[in-house]
Amino acid sequence: MVRSAGAETALTREFFAGDARDVAGALVGMVLVRPDGRKARLVEVEAYLGTEDPGSHAFRGPTPRARIMFGPCGRLYVYFSYGVHWCANVVCGPEGTASAVLLRAAQPIGAVPAMRQARWHGQRQLRDRDLCRGPGRLCEAFGITGADNGLDLTAPTGGLWLVDDGAGAGGEIVATPRVGLSRGADPLWRYVVAGSPWASAGPTSPAGRGRPEGPVPHRPPSRLS
DNA sequence: CCGCCGATCTTT
DNA sequence: AAGATCGGCGGG
């Protein structure tokens, strides 16, 4: 799809209505936005397929934690990881199913000082590269917490949304195994810009070395192709 | 850059 | 007891 440079189109509910793997591939290159100007281009995401995916929090059904994923698509699913960090997903697919896309890493492109402040731990200044490199860091840079669980990303009133600015992913998108799973680690449902320094790991970065990878079987969501 | 470990809450 | 993680530390 061709869009004039600079124009920003908010992603609609329809964008998230399809298969989480297709949504994940299409999300790479899209921009996460806060009303205060914080913006970051997604370079790494993972698809989780719900009740049929042993790696998904929804594998055991609609538990209190996984409840949001069974609702409408386009909403934020936030969970607390290792008792320390928040991680953010976008719910995908029809209501009643429970797939989602985990936002793993992004390139900061707007209000970078605000992100640095949000990530400030009282020690040394963080490099730009470390602001959004990883799901926990991305959430911290954008101030996403459990209070945002269920937030509607397709409504600007939520204070957090996603746009297509027409710039694209800026490189080839490849599929690799998902990170940090003991079950469901085989399928190539992690989508990352090959060689991106903003990714938490990649085919050309140490953590991604030697891992299998493959082409992205990407079918763009029908109404946006 | 790599590997190890602890933090500290949720879920099983 | 393990987990969709991260930062600090030590070593190469």
DSSP state, A178?
P
Q: What is the pLDDT of residue A165?
A: 98
- Taking a C-beta distance cutoff of 8 angstroms, is the pair A211, A178 a contact? no
Residue A78, CA distances (Å) to A74, A88, A144, A207, A210 in order = 13, 5, 8, 25, 31
pLDDT at A125: 85
Q: What is the per-residue pLDDT for A23?
A: 98
Distance measured from the CA of protein residue A83 to the C1' of nucleotide C3, in angstroms: 10
Question: What are the pLDDT digits (tens) for A2-30?
Answer: 655 679 999 999 999 999 999 999 999 99
> What nucleotides of chain B have any atom within 7 angstroms of a protein Cβ?
1-3, 7-12
Average pLDDT over residues A76-85: 97
- Chain-wide mean pLDDT for chain A? 90
Average pLDDT for residues A63-80, to the nearest whole number? 98
pLDDT value, residue A86: 98
Rg (CA), chain A: 16
Specify which residue's alpha carbon is closest to the C1' of nucleotide B1.
Answer: A206
Supply the pTM of this predicted model.
0.91
Is the CB of residue A86 less than 8 Å from the CB of residue A136? Answer: yes
Question: Which of A64-78, A115-129, A167-181, A211-225 is least confident?
Answer: A211-225
d(CA A42, CA A32): 7
The contacts found for A211-215 with CB under 8 angstroms, 24 or more apart, are: A211/A176, A211/A177, A212/A176, A212/A177, A212/A188, A213/A174, A213/A175, A213/A176, A213/A188, A214/A174, A214/A175, A214/A176, A214/A188, A215/A174, A215/A175
Average of per-residue pLDDT across A197-207: 66
What is the average pLDDT across A57-66?
97
Is A217's pLDDT higher than 80? no
Q: Which residues pair with A185 in a beta bridge?
A: none
Which residue in A16, A55, A79 sits closest to A188, CA to CA? A55
Is residue A187 within 8 A of residue A175, CB to CB? The reply is no
Q: Which nucleotide is nearest to A57 (CA to C1')?
A: C4
> Smallest Cα–C1' distance to nucleotide B7: which residue has it?
A84
